[in-house]
């Protein structure tokens, strides 16, 4: 696996320097260096650097790369010829560097694109490629000792590429172009939470199937005081899709989840927590942290922590199966009513397809009345039109995801540049007039408001609420 080039190392240094410079305050004769970030003042370079590396890694990565990964895809490939897989495994990896090198070599030869993160605690991967290449990779990794306990190899007469493999690798249609390239990295955590010493146990501790989760969601509806449905994803994911009645943390990165838990733990003690995420990887670590953090107060009722096995992805696949079975007169069991999935909107995914849903043919309600296909989010500019497709803020070093409808894109942002708020737009437009790229010295308004909400410990509920216009 290649090491970072001199150019990549220089880009990283430049990103850090630019980020710090934008937050550096001008000095006078009586004042030492001062940096202001996230509402706090830092008087030493060491202290502000620690803060930036721990709290702003997303921004640093985006600045280093010059942009972030694409969130839209225009491609003429037939998606039936290709597959995207998504999988993870918390399992000891004795030599992460060697494991990563083998991955980089094989995936390069197979022409696969995507992201693979490997650590001593396991592997997290999402890959795309033509069907034969994906099949070759799946055969190889299924036989590897890291996944041997999962009984996924082709030699296992129980599996072939049927149910167990399907649930584990979560295949979906999409060509190799949904990722810009192949990225294989050795990291400290395959899903960064930043809690030293936290261990995720192998096995099915607290995992429930989609069918069981569905039943628990119905119980939560009937007994809201006894259950908490908890979305462990980031705010921009839950904005466009979530389970009905879910609590959705206003966080931008998973590393902020522990602080969110500490601010809200009193409201969850003694209840049954139903946690979920995209594919399961964050839930495994989040529920491990919840078990460590909750139910240890003297005299408190014990909190029950459960997670959706396979995440939203496998839940939506299960719902599709149920709808097909119940709509088939041969397979139906007496009732022609298709279930209300209790899912609303779309499942955000981290590639250029951006999201997947139950209704891939178009936007709107299912014929049976299930609200799963209804768009639950609103254009952030006009707050009038429902919108669930993100674009990137054009502000320098911002790259926040913005929901902007076609009307606003054609009107206010006819030049193709969409902004998350007036702060980003002002800095960008003034820089264009001056013919320079200006380093923004203030946090954009929408990110500042989100951070304030995060610090207050508030949550966004799963109940649909019309958004306040951000731009006028």
Residues with catalytic annotation?
A: 277
Query: Which residue do the tokens 């990110």 mark?
Result: 447
Residue 25 CB-half CA count within 13 A: 15
Residue 447 CB-half CA count within 13 A: 23
- To the nearest 10 degrees (0 to 180), the angle between helices 210-222 and 311-327 is 90
Whole-number Å distance between alpha carbons of 466 and 250: 16
Closest CA to 186 of 111, 107, 95, 105: 95
Positive or negative: CA dihedral 240, 243, 249, 252? negative
Closest CA to 315 of 226, 219, 208: 208
Answer for the pair 270, 297: CB distance below 8 angstroms, yes or no.
Answer: no
Whole-number Å distance between alpha carbons of 234 and 77: 30
CB atoms within 10 A of CB 452: 12
Residue 101 CB-half CA count within 13 A: 7
Answer for the pair 84, 171: CB distance below 8 angstroms, yes or no.
Answer: yes
Calculate the dihedral angle through the C-alpha atoms of 321, 322, 327, 330, rounding to the nearest 10 degrees.
Answer: 80
Token pair of 23, please? 């937050």
Query: Which residue do the tokens 């709808």 mark?
Result: 323
- How far apart, in Å, are the Cα atoms of 139 and each of 84, 105, 135, 152, 184? 15, 16, 6, 8, 19
């Amino acid at each position: 696996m290649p090491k970072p080039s001199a150019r990549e190392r220089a880009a990283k240094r430049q990103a850090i320097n630019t980020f710090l410079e934008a937050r550096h305050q001008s000095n006078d004769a009586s004042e030492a260096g001062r940096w202001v970030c996230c509402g706090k003042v830092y008087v030493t370079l060491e202290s502000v650097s620690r803060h930036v590396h721990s709290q702003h890694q997303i921004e640093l990565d985006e600045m280093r790369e010059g942009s972030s990964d694409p969130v839209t895809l225009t491609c003429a490939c037939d998606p039936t010829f290709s597959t995207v897989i998504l999988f993870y495994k918390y399992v000891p990896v004795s030599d992460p560097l060697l494991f990563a090198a083998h991955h980089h070599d094989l995936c390069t030869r197979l022409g696969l694109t995507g992201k693979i993160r490997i650590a001593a605690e396991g592997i997290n991967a999402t890959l795309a490629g033509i069907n034969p290449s994906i099949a070759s990779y799946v055969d190889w990794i299924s036989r590897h000792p890291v996944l041997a306990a999962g009984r996924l190899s082709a030699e296992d007469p129980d599996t072939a590429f049927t149910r167990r493999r399907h649930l584990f690798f979560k295949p979906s249609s999409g060509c190799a172009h949904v990722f810009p390239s192949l990225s294989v990295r050795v990291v400290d955590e395959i899903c960064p939470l930043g809690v030293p010493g936290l261990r995720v146990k192998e096995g099915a501790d607290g995992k429930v199937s989609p069918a069981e989760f569905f039943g628990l969601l119905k119980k939560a509806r009937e007994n809201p005081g006894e259950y908490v449905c908890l979305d462990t994803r980031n705010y921009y994911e839950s904005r466009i899709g979530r389970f009905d009645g879910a609590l959705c943390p206003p966080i931008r990165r998973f590393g902020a989840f522990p602080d969110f838990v500490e601010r809200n733990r009193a409201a969850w003690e003694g209840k049954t927590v139903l946690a979920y995420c995209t594919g399961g990887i964050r839930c495994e670590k989040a529920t491990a942290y919840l078990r460590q953090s909750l139910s240890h107060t003297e005299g408190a009722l014990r909190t029950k922590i459960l997670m959706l096995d396979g995440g939203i992805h496998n839940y939506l696949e299960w719902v599709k199966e149920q709808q097909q079975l119940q709509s088939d007169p041969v397979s139906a069991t007496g009732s022609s009513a298709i279930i209300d999935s209790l899912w609303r909107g779309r499942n955000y995914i981290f590639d250029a397809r951006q999201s997947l849903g139950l209704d891939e043919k178009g936007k709107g309600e299912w014929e049976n009345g299930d609200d799963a296909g209804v768009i639950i989010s609103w254009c952030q500019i006009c707050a009038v039109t429902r919108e669930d497709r993100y674009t990137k803020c054009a502000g320098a070093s911002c790259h926040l995801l913005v929901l902007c409808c076609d009307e606003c894109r054609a009107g206010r942002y006819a030049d193709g540049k969409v902004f998350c708020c007036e702060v980003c737009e002002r800095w960008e437009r003034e820089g264009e007039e001056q013919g320079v790229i200006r380093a923004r010295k203030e946090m954009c308004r929408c990110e500042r408001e989100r951070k304030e909400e995060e610090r207050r410990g508030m949550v966004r509920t799963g109940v649909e609420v019309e958004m306040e216009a951000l731009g006028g």
